[in-house]
Structure 1
Amino acid sequence: MLDGFPMSQKGEARRAIGLATLASFVGGSVGAIIMTLLAPTLARAGLAFGPPEFFALTLFGLAMIVAVSGKNLLRGALAAAAGVLITTIGFDPLSAQTRYTFGSRELLGGVELIPVLIGLFGVAQVFARAENMLTFPKEAATGNFLPRLADLIITRWTMLKSAFIGVFVGAVPGAGCDIAAFATYAEAKRAAADPDTFGKGNIQGVAAPEAANNAGTAGALIPMLSLGVPGDAVTAVLLGALTIHGFEPGPVFFSANPGLVNSIFAGVIVTQSILLVVGLSLAGFSAD
């Protein structure tokens, strides 16, 4: 999440992409297995979240921003406060009044995450290129794209722990994979013996969010299939597609459509294998 780019600057792009692909495979596989075995139970636990739990989850997310800020706690707190202010743009969910839209229809629904990420990271890199006279001090990518045995030994528990955290966070309606990725990154940094190296090319900083991101995708399917409550925006679209075709995800979905449910489970598992093969095959091209 924050360590892949520093690794590429040191000529370790292939190593980072290979490890990220493997971590995604591990996280997705763990998530698929848990989804297959524990979908109804985890869905009920996620649905039990009410206003107090979501408030606590919000505070947890804000605390994560400060936690990953390292020694710049004030800067992290200001960033969290700025994020809270940005989320107030659009319709007030209680009064239905518009806030800070300045007459713009595009802001009625609030500020979308993807444009914000593009602005923060994409535009920032454009300015960085301009500052460095359109060149990056980047070393040529070297090494093998296959994950090293030493890297696997170092990150094995990080990947597994992040996968479990990711699938449980993903099963909470509305949480999504982004919270899972940030939460596991903060946890990996907290548990690391060298937390100061995070953000500078630490391989655990690559493995943790990648494993959680894919595990969270499988976790988001749990409440959608079991209770008809989408875990994130993607499963909300999938819920709409199933409804259009006459299926009603919910408590009776498993018994009424066992063939479709098994196909979905099998598809998620097979997708992880395809991800591993294709991801590792293209790692060398992506790094160059």
Structure 2
Amino acid sequence: MAVDVGDSIFLLFIFLFSTLIFFIFHLSKKKPARSPRSPLALPILGHFHLLSSALPKSLEALARRYGPLMQISIGSSRFLVASDADTAQQILRANDVEFASKFVFAPSHHNIFKEAEFVNAPYGTYWKFMKRLCMTKLFAGPQLDRFYHIREDETMKRDGEDTMMCGARLSFAEVHGPLKHVDLFGNGKRLRTALRRFDALIEQIIKEYEDDCGEASEEKDVMDILLETYRDPNAEIRLTRDQIKHFFLDLLIAGVDTTSASMQWAIIELLKHPHKLKKLRRRLTRR
């Protein structure tokens, strides 16, 4: 999670201002009767002052004090944080439908593919249709193995890296109520520029598939299946062109982000435990 220098200055100003209000007026909010435990929040800031760039470590420290289920506020946005397996199971399995819709961070407001998201789409007909399509056709059986080399090549392209840097950047102003619609530091503009480049690339690919649609093919890939659904007048959901484009954007970002985050955390943990790093080196040397 990256924070710009401008963000830091803005955050300092808000912190001083909110602290002044807190001590003058002693503002407090009455919690709902069944609200989870929560740290003391500052006006405007919420719990932003308790969170560092190492977000998981910050939440872990707070969970030790406030329990496995707590409420965290960032600006005007509230989050429910589950920190143990039993609580997470109750949320993700027993009450999956109630928690299926996801919070949309501020960079999504600068997405040029309006209402075309699948991963962050609200739980409903479109989300259920795409999930079923993924499980039964798009990623079934050997489909993933057939395109491993293509996915590996795509992760090396710079469009995915520009997009990731802009889409993952968090600004306090962007999560604070109506301010998240204001592009204070130009990050939204950079994100839209990267997405337009991606849009031009994927549009060219779609046109190539459409030009070759008459040619016989033994096996259909993901684009073939999506375009079939796009052209099918009897399909349960008529996909739009933007929905197809955003589906591939979700795949690209998810593949790059999850892999890089896992590698970074693995390396950090190995550096914190030198004896385990030496053990790993010995095993790799033997191979």
Q: Establish whether TM, by shorter chain, passes 0.5.
A: no
Structure whose CA Rg is larger: 2
Going by fraction, where is helix more abundant, 1 or 2?
A: 1
